[in-house]
């Protein structure tokens, strides 16, 4: 019975790994990506004033990972734009999100139950992109494990890594949002996923690729749905990262966030200082008189 269950799980994982992403999963990916663009400050104003700049930003949100990976592997950054169906679909989503009458499309896809489904579908695409990036780098650099990790990482979180460049297109510059300095959960998960898929590609991880894709997709989709439902920007890796950084780099336990949120020491009131100074002066004068 256990053997049959394992075989069934393997068959399910293999079927899932071969499932096509276009158009349903890619549609969800484009919708969620452009939703995040609309949440950015000033993006609606840019869409009204300069639709071309807004459309370019939307294309970076949808295809930034492919562009950055092609640049790193020495390919043409415009290579992915040959897929007309993907470009037209992403462009249609961009137009509906920003210019649909009465904002109806945005209200529908931003409705929380619908958004949770779209977020889960997006994570399916993210996992597949990480696996594809590692596989592509493996063919180009057979023993380049670090290159495999980098390309898989970029494929999974390329949009976040080039977000500062995208901000320049919108006329905004916020260096504090640098994703390398302040990694969000999808960026960290993409890095860890790239490491896992690299180990699997190098036959150092005793699990098939289809099973790894299935398990990692379930983890990503479940975690992202929970975080989105709770409106949280946290990460389930915080506790583990805190202990690892404490052991390896001597960082304080609890992470930097607690330190930043610690109550600041109240500054000494200048009025109180003057009063104390005046009181001390009066005491010294009274002692002199005595």
Count CA atoms closer than 13 A to 135's CA, side-chain side: 9
Most confident among 71-85, 105-119, 250-264 (mean pLDDT): 105-119
Cα separation, 64 vs 161, in Å, equals: 9
H or E stretch covering 234:
none
Cα separation, 141 vs 202, in Å, equals: 12
User: pLDDT by residue (tens digit) across 34-51?
Assistant: 999 999 988 999 999 999
User: pLDDT by residue (tens digit) across 226-271?
Assistant: 999 999 988 888 888 889 888 998 888 765 443 433 334 444 444 4
- How far, rounded to the nearest angstrom, does the alpha carbon of residue 135 sit from its chain's CA centroid? 21
User: Residue 174's pLDDT band (boundaries 50, 70, 90)?
Assistant: confident
Tokens describing residue 36 = 């995040």
Q: How would you class 15 by CB atoms within 10 Å of its CB: exposed for 0-12, middle for 13-18, buried for 19 or more?
A: exposed
User: Residue 164's pLDDT band (boundaries 50, 70, 90)?
Assistant: confident
Tokens describing residue 214 = 């299935």
Q: Average pLDDT for residues 60-78, to the nearest whole number?
A: 93
What are the backbone dihedrals phi and psi of residue 83, each rounded to the nearest 5 degrees, phi first? -85, 90
Tokens describing residue 99 = 């210019």
User: pLDDT by residue (tens digit) across 126-148?
Assistant: 999 999 999 999 999 988 999 99
For residue 287, pLDDT beyond 50 = no
Q: What pTM did the predictor assign?
A: 0.83
DSSP reduced 3-state for 130: helix
User: pLDDT by residue (tens digit) across 196-237?
Assistant: 999 999 999 999 999 999 999 999 999 999 999 999 988 888
């Amino acid at each position: 019975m256990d053997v049959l269950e394992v075989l069934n799980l393997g068959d399910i994982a293999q079927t899932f790994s071969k499932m096509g992403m276009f158009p349903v999963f890619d549609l969800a990916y484009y919708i969620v990506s452009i939703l995040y663009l609309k949440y950015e400050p000033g993006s609606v104003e840019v869409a009204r004033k300069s639709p071309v700049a807004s459309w370019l930003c939307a294309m970076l949100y949808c295809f930034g990972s492919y562009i950055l990976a092609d640049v790193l592997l020495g390919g043409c950054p415009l290579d992915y734009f040959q897929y007309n169906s993907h470009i037209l679909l992403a462009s249609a989503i961009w137009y509906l999100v920003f210019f649909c009458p009465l904002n109806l499309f945005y209200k529908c896809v931003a409705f929380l139950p619908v958004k949770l489904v779209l977020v889960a579908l997006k994570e399916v695409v993210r996992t597949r992109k990480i696996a594809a990036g590692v596989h592509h780098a493996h063919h180009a650099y057979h023993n380049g494990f670090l290159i495999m990790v980098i390309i898989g990482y970029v494929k999974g979180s390329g949009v976040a890594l080039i977000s500062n460049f995208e901000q320049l297109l919108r006329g905004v510059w916020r260096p504090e949002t640098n994703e390398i300095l302040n990694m969000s959960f999808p960026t960290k998960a993409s890095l860890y996923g790239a490491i896992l898929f690299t180990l699997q590609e190098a036959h150092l991880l005793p699990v098939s690729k289809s099973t790894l894709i299935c398990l990692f997709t379930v983890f990503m989709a479940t975690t992202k749905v929970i975080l989105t439902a709770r409106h949280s920007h946290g990460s389930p890796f915080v506790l583990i990262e805190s202990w690892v950084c404490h052991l390896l780099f001597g960082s304080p336990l609890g992470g930097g966030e607690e330190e930043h949120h610690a109550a600041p020491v109240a500054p000494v009131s200048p009025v109180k200082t003057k009063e104390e100074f005046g009181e001390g002066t009066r005491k010294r004068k009274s002692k002199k008189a005595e």
